[in-house]
Amino acid sequence: MTLTINVNGRDHQVEADPSTSLLYVLRNDLELNGAKYGCGLGQCGACTVQVDGRAVFSCLLPLAAVAGRKVRTVEGLGTVEQMSPLQKAFEIEQAAQCGYCIAGMIMRAQALLDTNPHPGEDEIRSHMDVNLCRCGTHMRILRAIRRVARLAPGETI
Amino acid sequence: MAWTRSHLKLVAGVLSGVFVVCALTGLVLTYRPEIREIERPQPSSFASDVVARGEMLVGIGDCIVCHTSHGGAPYAGGKALATPFGVLFSTNITPDEKTGIGRWSLDAFRRAMRDGVARDGSFLYPAFPYEHYTHLTDPDIEAIYAFLMTRRAVDSPAQTNRLIPPLGFRPLLAGWNLLFLHKGVWQPDPKLANDLNRGSYLVEALAHCGACHTPRNIAGGEERGRAFAGGVAEGWNAPALDRSNPAARPWTADEIFTYLRTGIDMNHSVAAGPMGPVTTNLANAPADDVRAIAAYVASLMTRPAPDKTAPIDRPEQAAQAHPEGAVLFAGACAGCHGPGAPMMGQGRPPLSLASPVREADPRNAIQIILQGVRPDQGVAGPVMPSLGSTFTDAQVAELVAYVRARYSDLPAWPKLEAAVAKARKEGAIP
């Protein structure tokens, strides 16, 4: 079955069963390998992407449910040459150890910053609660998010 | 007959008399004296066995759940409670002298528990379930007081409630109490066995189960004639605990015990929403007390002999009726709930046994998809991811319709999409 999905502002024709998870389509069909397969059960957050601005587990999102909605992955945020402020902050804080969870962490954090540019500590922590990092770099991840949350208007990182 | 000046005077006199009588009656009905402040009692002045008993009682009474804000200090209050009448904030029940109950005497504390009146004479809102605590025995109130007064004092001032006018005017609660507060210490029923009496006391007074599981009338009072017929709390159904309980397999006392202790039972479902923290607390309560609660609740249900018919599963029929729901289920749910999924090998109940699928309204089936199941921090327990952002209202509605058709033989729920929109609103953190 051919379905059209919009990822990072571009429409893509995808040939897949409508119950296929968005994660598989992103990685296998569109070769957007930022989002990772961790548990496949919505319990770790490594596959987190944004749909209509909200952070979701792409491993639990059937393709059929994506039609007409806008998907954004870490590849839509910035490039190695031109990183987004949040990506830059993750680099400055050296927030990645093995890096497996980081794309998901960034996409979840960005969803918060997009609706609330200056979240408080409680808001950051409860928002990030569902994404896990097995290396234990949570403190660095939180520092990176805080770094962006504290930017004054017009200030760059 | 023409109105003369003297007629008018007479009428005015009668009216002002009536007014004065009303005002005085109102004052008498609504006036509660302040109870004098005391020096904060030294923690060492309480006997340690009484404090320990208080800790056990406070656990069964679930005090910490409402009196602790998200990530806040235990018992320091500040949790927002959404009610049909607006948002209330729980208060600080640590022994802080300025912002807590540090200068409350035992008498003042007892009056709050029994009458719903604060130390300063102001009325408390019945979100604080004093209509249940009023039935507690004196020694139990004393032990709860001893436990709370020996906690760490936390400076945490009360936050301003956001209630629908004129409900911010507390003397109105005198009228509520007149209608709905039925005082009197709980008395054992000589016809009941000891454990049922213990269970009855815990359920009716301390654990205040009826606060959620009994329907409330338009004024927010529990409908006494329909005790345990099921209510609504924080956007979730609190299922009926009487004969109308919707379980596919009638609950036994042992199963209720397992559920209350662990938050899950193989023949029913998982404790979700506001029930989750209740089971977290009961996991640490004395086993005999939880058994007594289970025995009493089982006695309320009195359903016919357990029916162990095979679980219903009609995938083809359901997919025909709800093809979109079938696709969504396959992609999002079957990895855990489908036949042969790893989770099903761990003794988790099939969806056909889960009460939310069988209830008369879809509220819990929707809420569990929107919010998921998340044990308290640091507590082990079943986890289900929240899918509220993953799916639109229409998609959740499709999914719920499919699950109902596949896993039950009950009639389809009407107007599901509107129900999803409503559930989102009701379940939002205030």
Confidence of residue B138 (pLDDT cuts 50, 70, 90): very high
User: Rounded mean pLDDT of chain B?
Assistant: 92
Mean pLDDT for B56-84 is 93
Q: How far is CA A83 from CA A155, B152, B345, B381, in A?
A: 15, 47, 45, 39
Cα B5 to its chain centre, rounded Å, is: 60
Helix (H) or strand (E) run with residue A55 in it: strand A54-57
Of B52-56, B80-84, B210-214, minimum mean pLDDT range: B80-84
Report how far residue A142's alpha carbon sits from residue A138's, in angstroms, rounded to the nearest whole number. 6
**Residue written as token pair 């770094």:** A147
Residue of chain B whose Cα is closest to the Cα of A41: B335
Q: Which two tokens stand for residue B13?
A: 């006199």
C-alpha–C-alpha distance, residues B84 and B311, integer Å: 37
What does the alpha-carbon distance between residue A145 and residue B201 come to, in Å, rounded to a whole number?
50
Of B383, B385, B395, which has the smallest distance from its Cβ to A60's Cβ? B385
Provide φ and ψ at B270, rounded to 5°.
-100, 145
- Residue B347's nearest CA partner among B406, B275, B267 is B267
pLDDT tens-digit series, residues B26-56: 777 788 999 999 999 999 999 999 999 999 9
Quote the CA–CA distance of A80 and B87 in Å, as a whole number.
47
CA separation for the pair B77, B154 (Å, rounded): 10
CB contacts < 8 A, A to B, total 59
Specify the long-range contacts of residues B275-278, CB closer than 8 Å, at least 24 apart: B275/B236, B275/B238, B276/B373, B276/B374, B276/B375, B276/B376, B276/B381, B277/B62, B277/B65, B277/B376, B278/B62, B278/B65, B278/B207
Q: Which chain A residues are closer than 8 Å to B389 by Cβ?
A: 51, 54-56
Token pair recorded at residue A85: 């402020």
Task: Tell me phi and psi for residue B384, to 5 degrees.
Answer: -130, 130
Contacts of A19 in chain B (CB under 8 A): 327-328, 330-331
Contact map slice: A 12-51 vs B, CB within 8 A:
18-21, 40-43, 51
3-state class (DSSP) for residue B25: helix
CB B86 within 8 A of CB B167: yes
- Give DSSP secondary structure letters for B34-91: PPPP-PPPPGGGS-HHHHHHHHHHHHHHTHHHHSB-TT--TT-B--EEEETTEEEE--
pLDDT of the residue at B26: 74
Are A8 and A71 contacting, i.e. CB atoms less than 8 angstroms apart?
A: yes
pLDDT digits (tens, 9 = 90+) for B334-386: 999 998 898 988 888 999 999 999 999 999 999 999 999 988 878 888 899 99
Residue B236 three-state SS: strand
Q: Report whether pLDDT(B262) > 90.
A: yes
Question: What pLDDT shows up at residue A36?
Answer: 98
Gap between the Cα atoms of A146 and A149, Å rounded:
5
Bridge partners of A128?
A: none
Residue B172 pLDDT exceeds 70: yes
Give chain B positions within 8 Å (CB) of A107: none
C-beta of residue A63 within 8 angstroms of C-beta of residue A69: no
Please state, in angstroms and rounded to a whole number, the distance separating the CA atoms of residues A86 and A106: 7
Q: Model-level pTM?
A: 0.90
